[in-house]
Amino acid sequence: MARALQPCGTRAAYTRHCARREAIDDACRRANTLHQAAWRKRDARRKRLGELRQQLLFRQLLDLIAGECQKAGMLR
């Protein structure tokens, strides 16, 4: 059974219009704009999280190295 088509004002309808090369109505254009804004926000948050994770791992690595150096008597 075919799935019901999403109505205008949804991202699905927007992409359908594009695929069929139909004119884009305001409701669908707005839905796409909102979708893109949300996506950009999520993407920025994801990147920031990735950077923080990287910084944390790097700090842990430095602590580990410092600890080993201390044990080996390399730091005074």
Min dist CB 11 to Zn ion, Å, is 10
Nearer to Zn ion, 8 or 11 (CB): 8
Q: Is 13 in the site for Zn ion (CB under 5 A)?
A: yes
Q: Is 8 in the site for Zn ion (CB under 5 A)?
A: yes
Q: Is 31 in the site for Zn ion (CB under 5 A)?
A: no
Of 15, 25, 29, 35, which one interacts with Zn ion (CB under 5 A)? 25
What HEC string does the chain produce? CCCCCCCCCCHHHHHHHHHCCCCCCHHHHHHHHHHHHHHHHHHHHHHHHHHHHHHHHHHHHHHHHHHHHHHCCCCC
Report the interface residues with Zn ion, using CB under 5 A.
8, 13, 25, 28
